[in-house]
Structure 1
Amino acid sequence: MPQPQPGNSLAVARERYLEVAEDPGRVRPLVVASWQRSMEYGVKSGEISAPYIENPNLDVPLTKAALPILDRLFEQLAGDAVAMMITDHQGVVLSRTVSDEGLTTRLGRVQLVPGHVYSERYVGTNGIGTALASGRPAVIAGNEHYVEALRYFQCAAVPIVHPTRRTLLGAFNLTTTRQGSAGMLMALASSTVRQIESEIAAISSRRERALFQDYLAACASVRPGPVLAVSREVLMMNEQLSAAVIGPDQHALLDHAREIADDARFEGRRSIALPSGRVAELRVSRCRREDSDAGAIFRIRLIGRPQLRPPAPEGSRRADLGLVGSSPQWLDAVTACEAAFTSGSWFLVAGEAGVGKTTLVEAVHRAYGAGRRLVVAEPPSSESPHASEQWLHEVRDRLAESSNVVVLRDVQLLGNGLRRGLRGLLADLDRAATGQLIMTSQPTTAGADAHLGDLLDTCVEVPPIRHRYEDIEQLVRFFLRRYQPNGDRTCSPEALAMLQRCPWPENLRQIESVIRGLVRRPAGRVIGVEDLPPECRVSSRNVLTAMELLERDAILRGLMHRNANVQRTARDLGISRATMYRKLRYYGIVPSSLS
């Protein structure tokens, strides 16, 4: 079959589907729409290319609720050639159970095993990916699969939704090679998901009660002071905290607290620099019940007084490096990167997409890397044995030049085999006779790669924009000057305040895109609130949970990538239009039109 090209219309997707459909008279809109998305993603129909995430996080309510239920179901289906799988909301296979050896082998050949990502973006139309993309139960049988290697299977997948938050947690999937079993598979999958969602509700209720008890105990101590309780779904603060920490300080504190609470291993003390100049000293204790982490209790001590800072300079405190920003978190990252670079260390620069990791490395190299060549290597486009061997050979050759500074970007995208090869290559090198190695990485659901980290000397954490509240004004002015060097357009105080409240899920990349779009649009000299694009009009007064933050950011990205089209964004996220408008109001997102 000819390989479809991205960007084809729905009619072309329908035509391609009809070419392989067993019964062209029964064309299902769900499948045709999925084929269209698969073509837009550029999925190759002739090969399987499901990315692999090493050590996905299984310590989540979804797996705790689902695995005992799947164990019981496995006993009932023992001997049947049916595979049961649980995935997270991104399509990462978290668990797979199958008793038939032949089916196990077939699933291995198509990478349908734990750790691989089976979303439509990578594998095209399939039960798991299509259920997650559409938000509806999906049966994909035979030639309805987009990738040819999957057309031997019948799959029934049902989304798993949090019973109270209504956020997408993942999917339950049943796969078999037995023909004509779609009805049975869907009935069984739907029944199993109802049981899983019921157990999630029970676990959430127990966790919330446990966290509330620990929160009350902390507040009832002799000298309670400011107290905060945070879990994935709950946030509570006492009056002392809500009165003592307000405005940007409160936003910064809650962002840090959510991230700390998400790390079930952290317990102890941590100090946070707040935008006002004060320091919040956090004493963190975990709330653990029934061998499960229910969240974290924060006892908070505030050090110092709010400082009235002079207006930020037009450029940057680090003008010598050409970098914009003066927040303590950002300056700490710059200083750490300078120290690691000038000492010749091998180090990792970690941070979310778009925070400026590569920009930071390039700036430090310009300042301190005289006579040394900066070489940037991307992950290989394919992890076939030949492509992997060639990529590792190129990395070895570049490091062999002692005057080179080699930057390996986005190492979180490397598959398990390539990671092992890279570890072996680096372990065999003589550090004294090689170039300097720097890696960049984004957070993933994978566990830390301790073996790869052992070969590096240090890690530099680059903060996301939402933790650099005071830098947003400087960044906005910087990009205004870049894209209108002879212009005099400025932001009104109201527009600037709204830009500072924006969560910026894509960080610097998104700020630059927004300002570039504003400059290109005809408008007056002063940019007002009405000129801002939809993704910047966030004015929610609600204290959002970690799950709600993820959902809000997904909606913002959807609107940004679909030209503020609410109906298309709702359809692509798998929710109804009415639900989308309700969420827009709740999160304070104001698109330019709500027609």
Structure 2
Amino acid sequence: MRIARERLIAEGLFRASVPPALVAEEIEQSWRRSVSHRVNPGAEPHILGEIDPDSAMLRAAGRILDQWQTNLTDSRMALFLADEGGRIVSRRIVDPQDGRALDRANAAEGFDFSERALGTNGLGTPIEARGVVFVRGNEHFNDALAHLACAGVPIKHPITGRIVGSLSIASQVDVASSLMVAMVRQGGQQIAEALEHMADSRDLELARTYRRFRSSRRPVLVMNSETVMTDLPSLAHLDAESHAILWEKLRLHHWDEDTLRLELPVLGTEAMVRRFNRGGQDAIFALEFLEPAGTLASGQGSVIGAPESATAPDLSGVLDAVANPRAQVSPYEAVQRQLTASAAVPGLIRVVGDPGVGKRHQAARWLQQRTGQAPKIVTARDLVTNGAVWTRGEAQLQAGRGIVVVGGDSLSEGLRRRLGDFARLPRPGLHPGARVVLTEHTGRVGSPAAGADAGPAAVHVPSLADLHGALPAVVREVAATLFPGAPAPRFSPAALQSLLAWPWPGNVAELTEVLAALPQVAQGGLIQTKDLPALMRQGPGSSLSRYERAERDAIADALREAEGNKSRAAEILGIGRTTLYRKMRTLKIDAGERMTAPGQ
């Protein structure tokens, strides 16, 4: 069996064949997925951040895992619970000797056992295969797990049907039993039932809304801020990114009425959109897809029959993302094309934009692509205080390197004229890409550099506020720059909602700082709301009613008084602890960040 797996790795997916009598179909499919993801059979698991002890999964599974651990006292078996990303969030062992062996394989809380990280295993593979698997010995893709046998089952949320984690029962391979499959099925079902009993009222309302519309002859899609339910095959691949953008667009729309008819050219149809409950984070939107709309003259989503003054959500780009969420082109590609167009005219090239939008980065990237060399970065102050900068700049250009002058707003008119003349000097044999680029704030967008002939308009680098709908594409580009070679960052729906709702006053510089502080970005892990900065986790305050804001403040005061102890806070408020947990999730309150009194 090990030889068959190594042959698959060595010969590739198309050339190698695995005897069906030797390897079960679900194991072979997992091996092939592992090879396609270039999983290293000798790789060690890595840690994916801290575990939230108050997560719904752990609260639902805690008592059940305790019971199973007691029942398995004499069995030499271990229990593992993983979240939706394949990270181990709980481990229960019976024999300390087994614990030491599992520790040597890093099979412990916090470690990533997703199939993309370790290949075929009893926690990650059930999530990918969406079904029960039994992985024995060398069927594991990772060599360090070959001494184990693991039966695993995905845990599906009973309300949404979404996979929220997995459960695995493991033993030494020489004492494994096929009964482990039946046992893990039973354990997974018990956790799913516990999740149903704990279900948030919003999810229950969403499920009722979906059942109401599902009886329609037309395909429907129902969603709230965190969950999508649909029977529409063409949108079955709706991911967290496109869901978050679509929901945010509908949430921000000016709803004069609770019903909206939209043309959806990307899908070649129309949809009747209905809003339930009130606005904000608790809103539920139901999209009922009508008969095909035929050929439409406009490529933009529009409101049919709405007055011209109504603000219609521009859903065309959103629905493009739904059809192919990774096909979005970074908006900065347009900046690069504009820089190339500006280079058709000799002289100084100007790049303008708000602070923090990445003017210097875009200019330096463009020059390096054209010259093959990193450009020289010069500040406007250098031009004033250091006369040798001009001589060195001349040498830089002659050597085929570009120059980026940052902070052009502080230049006097005389220095701007001198810089414009310097950029227009004829230099025989000069590399065509060796140009001078000046960065300035947006306020001077209409002022060409003094001493320069009238040329193309200054290249404008947009702020994140201008790129709201394209934010996921910007996140991917910034993450690729920060962590070359790392997979594209993955966000939970709630975390992506928080990013979309944030105003980003610091623009790309702020986004860069946020991503750099998230270890999950570099490691390919799932980024959840709890991983984001505290203020960003709170979401838009405008989505809360006056009553909810008062309730939120009362809970925050109780948590401060109880020094973060949620049981004590619930007693102070006169409510049950479960009710407090539910209200904290609904109002997006984080106890650890709410213990400081206002003004401190």
The alignment's TM-score, normalised by the length of structure 1, stands at 0.41
Relative contact order (alpha carbons < 8 A, sep ≥ 6): 1 or 2 greater? 1
Is the radius of gyration larger for structure 1 or structure 2? 2
